[in-house]
């Protein structure tokens, strides 16, 4: 495990939320059009999350409608009301099956357990020093035998790497040029699988033909 987001990362994490709040309207234009995206869709279809599903960092509802094809209900958590407003529009026809929770995932405690937990492009935004605590929260959210699926990427541009390759802090700019720092951990499939197994998870992480990866599994003890 490496990276450098130290214990004084509150400001950085607040800036990360500010970035996503500000970028919400531009977000869908900036999505990565790289090989492997269709493999993520296939992974979700295979996962076919049934029952009550928790979606962490739902954003503008990129994946929420697809989850609703399989799930009875989706609880969609995000810290950005702007993102959640966009997500609500995308699931307008199924709103009675979606509960939106506006919360910071580094402090939020789930009030119930779920059959499945899904995370789209979120794991890479969790700094290493919060990684174990975050997965403890996932543990508390999952019923015994419940399953997890995440999809993500390790894509960072040269321009974003304001502190160099070794740092997990990057800088992104809004269309108008306003800079915001964020966390982007460039996980490898093997490295992530290993770290999760240390924490008691049995999750297989699969690279794709592009910069994306996806992981699925559950607790080692289940």
Number of H helices, E strands in the chain: 6, 9
Of 20 and 201, nearer to ligand SAM (C-beta) is 20
The one among 79, 98, 142, 192 contacting ligand SAM by CB under 6 A: 79
Of 106 and 143, nearer to ligand SAM (C-beta) is 106
Residues 31-70 that bind ligand SAM (CB under 6 A): 57-59, 62-63
Nearest distance from C-beta of residue 190 to ligand SAM, angstroms: 23
Look up residue 115 and give its DSSP letter.
E
Dihedral, CA of residue 96, residue 29, residue 80 and residue 36, to nearest 10: 80
Task: Report if residue 141 touches ligand SAM, rule: CB under 6 A.
Answer: no
Strand 201-207 vs strand 212-219: parallel, antiparallel, or unpaired? antiparallel
| 24: alpha, beta or left? (left if phi > 0; alpha if psi -120 to 50) | alpha
Of 124 and 219, nearer to ligand SAM (C-beta) is 124
Contact predicate 67/44, CB 8 Å: yes
Task: Report if residue 161 touches ligand SAM, rule: CB under 6 A.
Answer: no
Contact predicate 27/180, CB 8 Å: no
The one among 46, 104, 136, 190 contacting ligand SAM by CB under 6 A: 104
C-alpha to C-alpha distance for 118 and 108, rounded to whole angstroms:
16
Nearest distance from C-beta of residue 11 to ligand SAM, angstroms: 13
Residues 9-28 that bind ligand SAM (CB under 6 A): 13, 16-17, 20
Q: Could you tell me which stretch among 75-83, 127-135, 136-144, 210-218 binds ligand SAM (CB under 6 A)?
A: 75-83
Closest residue by Cα to residue 106 from 138, 74, 75 = 138
Which stretches of the chain bind ligand SAM, using CB under 6 A?
13, 16-17, 20, 57-59, 62-63, 78-80, 83, 104-106, 120-122, 125
């Amino acid at each position: 495990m490496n990276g450098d987001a130290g214990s004084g990362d509150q400001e950085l994490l607040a800036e990360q939320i500010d970035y996503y709040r500000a970028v919400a309207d531009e977000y869908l234009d900036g999505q990565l059009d790289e090989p492997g995206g269709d493999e993520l869709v296939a992974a979700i279809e295979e996962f076919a999350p049934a029952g009550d599903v928790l979606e962490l960092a739902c954003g503008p509802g990129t994946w929420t409608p697809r989850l609703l094809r399989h799930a009875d209900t989706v609880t969609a958590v995000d810290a950005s009301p702007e993102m959640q407003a966009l997500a609500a529009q995308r699931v307008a026809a199924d709103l009675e099956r979606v509960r939106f929770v506006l919360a910071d995932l580094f402090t939020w405690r789930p009030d119930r357990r779920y059959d499945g937990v899904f995370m789209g492009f979120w794991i890479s935004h969790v700094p290493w020093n919060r990684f174990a605590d975050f997965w403890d929260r996932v543990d508390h959210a999952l019923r015994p035998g419940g399953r997890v699926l995440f999809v993500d990427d390790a894509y960072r541009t040269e321009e974003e790497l304001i502190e160099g390759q070794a740092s997990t802090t990057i800088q992104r700019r809004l269309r108008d040029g306003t800079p915001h720092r964020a966390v982007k951990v460039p996980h490898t499939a093997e490295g992530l699988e290993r770290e999760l197994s240390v924490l008691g998870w049995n999750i297989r992480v699969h690279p794709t033909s592009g910069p994306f990866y996806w992981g699925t599994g559950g607790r080692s003890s289940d």
